[in-house]
Amino acid sequence: MSHIIIRGGRRLEGALTVQGAKNSVLPILAATILHPGQTVLQGCPHLSDVEASIRILRHLGCKARWEGEALVVDAGSMSRRDIPDHLMREMRSSVIFLGAILARLGRAEMSYPGGCELGPRPIDLHLTALRQLGAELREEGGRLRCTAQRMAGREIALSIPSVGATENVILAACGAEGETTIFNAAREPEIADLQAFLRAMGCQVRGAGSSTVCVAGRRPTRDAVHTVMPDRIAAATYLAAVAAAGGQVELHRVNYRHLSTVTAALHGAGCQITGGEGRVVLRSDGALRSAGTVRTAPYPGFPTDAQAVLMAALLRGQGATVFVENIFENRYRHVDELCRMGADISVADRVAVVTGVPRLYGADVRATDLRGGAALLVAGLIADGTTRIGDIHHIQRGYEDPVRDLAALGADIALEEPPPAAHQ
């Protein structure tokens, strides 16, 4: 089993180019099957979740190949409409293929998805909305069997602004007759990026980024080339790392507006931050203070995916910071691992109170989920001694090469690979 080894205490300084967004490219990969032709995704991040999506595409009969930092998908040979259980279990967002398969073929079969264990994230919203479009869904033996011989556009009001449900309805609506209007749609930038990709293929989608999205039923008509938007959560992670360790970082290929709530919290904790076209610069002396109260919320609120890394950055901050998690129930699974390093964190239901301590200590810890693993990276950078992080496959789901990136900033960090198996 691989581990990440960090020897803390170094200031960080340098520049990084932010990877393509995990939360954007996954629904876009599902959208590629709408068009029986070729699409090119430039700036596609090399992540284990992307590889899982590629395995699904290939199972469906599509072709996918890497050309440097670009991923080329040809869905012209798509021949299957089912996704086996072992592929669905690899990631939670695999359910996004449901709407796309229905729009392309009118039938789909899959099991319930897997992914990080962050508490209940039911797909009921997805299924209810797809039924409103005319899909028939039934569960048999733990698998979903869906048929949609003729979907018709209509008005759909989501009970909560679910990102996944919004994306699934948009994809399905591309194969429906007439116009679909989604009210209370999620407003995340990644949905606007999905819209940009769909429009490049000839779909008629408008309103993404607002609470009302309209889709005129029209299947894609042309091949497309699309550049995946920068990953705002990866950017937030590296900002939090330098804020905690002290130093300066300049991030390139980043949208400053997408990071406004994160940079506001870091500024409140004592960092100097400036932003411009495609760049963000953060300076920190490493002596942070309380960020007050941080409440996660749907975009444009503070992102739940950045909660853990901000928490880690403030572990040695002066005073106490209160975190209120309003999105996922089990988003504090990383707390026990941080406490093994000497952190002072108390949790009650959805509230966590972080009281700064003078020192953290390196320890053997394990990543409990993707963003919790990123929090351990940040904590390891400011801990005395050596931190050894296990279960790093969680981190690899969303970060292309954090060891490379942090080492480029001056961190003492390395990937420890298991010894090769001895041949008998």
Q: Strand 204-206 relative to strand 212-216: parallel, antiparallel, unpaired?
A: antiparallel
In degrees and rounded to multiples of 5, residue 294 shows phi and psi of -115, 120
3-state SS, residue 256: helix
Closest CA to 381 of 280, 242, 253, 282: 242
- Residue 271 annotated to the active site: no
Whole-Å CA distances, 249 to 234, 235, 274, 301: 13, 11, 11, 24
Q: Which of 62, 116, 174, 203 is catalytic?
A: 116
Q: Which residues have a Cβ under 8 Å from the Cβ of 33 and sit 6 or more positions away?
A: 57, 60, 62, 75, 78, 97, 100, 101, 104
Q: Determine the Cα–Cα distance for residues 394 and 2; give it in Å rounded to an integer.
A: 12
Q: Do residues 159 and 184 make contact, with C-beta atoms less than 8 angstroms apart?
A: yes
141: left (phi over 0), alpha (psi -120 to 50) or beta: left
What is the DSSP-derived secondary structure letter of residue 60? T
3-state SS, residue 243: helix
Paired strand residues for 261: none
Closest CA to 228 of 190, 202, 281: 190
The catalytic residues are: 116
